[in-house]
Structure 1
Amino acid sequence: MDQRRFVEAFLPTGFGRNARLERIAALIDWAPLEALVRQVRPGETGRPPYRALAMLRALLLQQWYGLSDPGLEEALSDRVSFRRFCGLALEEPTPDETTLCRFRLALVKAGLGDALFAEVSRQLETAGFMVKAGTLIDASLVQATVRQPPNGSSPMGQESRSPHDPDANWTRTACGTKRFFGYKVHVGVDQGSGIIRSRTVTPAKVYESEVADDLVIGDEKAVYADKAYEKRARHETLKARGIKDRIQHRRVRGQPALPPWQAIRNKLIGRVRTAVERTFSELKRGPYGFVRMRYRGLTRCRLHFDLSVIAYNLRRAAG
């Protein structure tokens, strides 16, 4: 993929270079990722499919630059740095938006999100990017891409759902004053490096504590989380595994206030776990755009989040 083609040999030195993309391209060994996605074809008929690794890299570019499928097709057509990152020679045809969409759907069907995330995480860990001083756990709400159904329940007492995205559902915001329709993304962030080590996507109604244990890696020195994650069994499990419990205390019902030592402890923990808020800020306000989901259905949303987290981690590691 790095071999210069005949047309490129005549380009001026440095033409179309993108230093950040070059650092990312050199950051990991892409061969294992290529082996994973080689089974996926963007189409079963017509001309031979594009190289699977080129398509995967194109989807990562989509995350870094916040592009739609038509926007990605256009960018691949006229940006030399994008073509070089994907391994497409200047004289080669460009995958169109339909091909890109079909490839992404093929990744969903093959269920490759977990494997791709695990392989990139393994390589970043081997390269020493993971600090493992602690895991910062938190969750954030993301709107569904479909229009929300009427706010409320049906006469039979069933919660209203959208026929266009039945996986999305309702919850209340943190302050409890507003209802929210969509999904919830959960992450475990490495303290120190800011790299996301664990992640999942659930319907919005799933309580944070229900998936918290799946976000604990096991090799970290401590786990930091807010009071929504406090649970006696979790405290005992962390202690048994030799992991420091840094979960904030919750006021017991009927108790006027936390004891002073718990209030101080909560404040100290809060100073550390604010780093995970910066992670969500980048995922929401940056090109990743996780204020609203791009796709319908839990499986598609999970694959999209996996690609975004992989892109986020690679960009963070590359500096």
Structure 2
Amino acid sequence: MGQQGFWDIEERQQKLEQKKAVLNRLNQLVPWETFRPILMQIREKPRKSQAGRNPTDVLLLFKMLVLQKLYNISDDELEYQVNDRLSFMQFLGLGLEDRVPDATTVWLFREQLQQHGLVEALFEQFGAYLQGAGYAAKDGQIVDATLIPVPKQRNTREENQTLKQGEVPVEWQETPHQLAQKDVDARWTKKNGTSHYGYKNHINSDAGFKLIRRYSVTDASVHDSQVLGELLDADNSGDGLWADSAYLSVLIVEVLKLIGFESAYK
């Protein structure tokens, strides 16, 4: 028998299968095609031209969002990890020769889902499949937040002041092409003395299976503790809560104790 090479993809994929990783298990449990009718709502408008590259498969992009929430990573990190990790490619049904959607494509897809009000319905359906397969959350909850950077805006001081007031500068409204290139919802925040511009991805995963149960996306300026209430999962029968100290003020800790949660810093 000849010596197998390091890049023997078939052998490595077999080893991944044998390990029964969580991503392989998800592909076995979740009937992904059932999500397609909901996802296709963002493509209801007919294409103006058939020229150019075909749109990226909506189901592929949705599974990338599942990966992102499962591992709590940014759009740029998601693009890198899908290109780098065989387990991610296998989960998505991609080969080494296939093109991986870039971070901008993922961001635009997520924006379209939000604009159509589809995000909650999709992840409630996803959670229902997990519950039906016996992945009930019962060992406590882990809450965390990840900064999602976006390209910095070249705005004037007056424009930024208008945005902070929740309004769009009049000049942008009069020039739709300029407005289309502006992110009017991202905000600045400072962490460990470094300024960041973009959003925050707040997640709640169960301590047992490490699967995302709840999430919230805010601009970066929103303090972690402000979304704790909507992140807590009443269906998780465990009473433990693991969280960064940013979530747990003295008052919040006392309230959590009153409703039956034992908190732990991480």
Pairwise same-fold verdict (TM > 0.5): yes
CA pair 183-27 structure 1, distance change in 2 beyond 3 A: same
- Secondary structure in structure 2 of the residue aligned to 1:167: coil
Structure with the larger RCO, 1 or 2 (CA within 8 Å, 6+ apart): 1
**1:230 alignment counterpart:** 249
**1:169 alignment counterpart:** 187
CA pair 34-164 structure 1, distance change in 2 beyond 3 A: closer
Write the letter of the residue equivalent to 2:223. Answer: Y
Q: Deviations over 1:179-205 (max 9, x none)?
A: 433322212121222222111121121
Write the letter of the residue equivalent to 1:215. Answer: L
Unaligned ranges ≥5, structure 1: 1-12, 89-93, 248-268, 275-319
Q: What's the TM-score once normalised by structure 1's chain length? A: 0.49
Unaligned ranges ≥5, structure 2: 1-9, 72-76, 165-180
CA shift for structure 1 position 138: 3.0
| Distance in 2 between residues matched to 1:204 and 1:85, nearest whole Å | 29
Instruction: State how 1:118-137 maps to structure 2 within 5 Å.
Output: 118-137=124-143
CA pair 56-147 structure 1, distance change in 2 beyond 3 A: closer
Indicate conservation of the 8 Å contact 2:199/2:220, yes or no.
yes
Q: Deviations over 1:214-245 (max 9, x none)?
A: 00111234252436433647844773xxx423
| Distance in 1 between residues matched to 2:113 and 2:39, nearest whole Å | 8
Instruction: State how 1:274-313 maps to structure 2 within 5 Å.
Output: 274=266
Indicate conservation of the 8 Å contact 1:32/1:119, yes or no.
no
**2:50 alignment counterpart:** 46
Write the letter of the residue equivalent to 1:32. Answer: T
**1:200 alignment counterpart:** 216
CA shift for structure 1 position 206: 0.9
Match status 1:188 vs 2:193: no
CA pair 205-96 structure 1, distance change in 2 beyond 3 A: closer
How many residue pairs get aligned? The number is 214
Indicate conservation of the 8 Å contact 1:172/1:180, yes or no.
yes
| Distance in 2 between residues matched to 1:201 and 1:123, nearest whole Å | 23
Please give the root-mean-square deviation of Cα atoms over the aligned residues, in Å: 4.9
Same amino acid, percent of matched pairs: 23
| Distance in 1 between residues matched to 2:116 and 2:38, nearest whole Å | 10
Larger Rg: 1
Indicate conservation of the 8 Å contact 1:135/1:188, yes or no.
yes
**Which 10-residue stretch deviates more, 28-37 or 42-51?**
42-51
| Distance in 2 between residues matched to 1:86 and 1:119, nearest whole Å | 21
Q: What's the TM-score once normalised by structure 2's chain length? A: 0.57
Match status 1:246 vs 2:262: yes
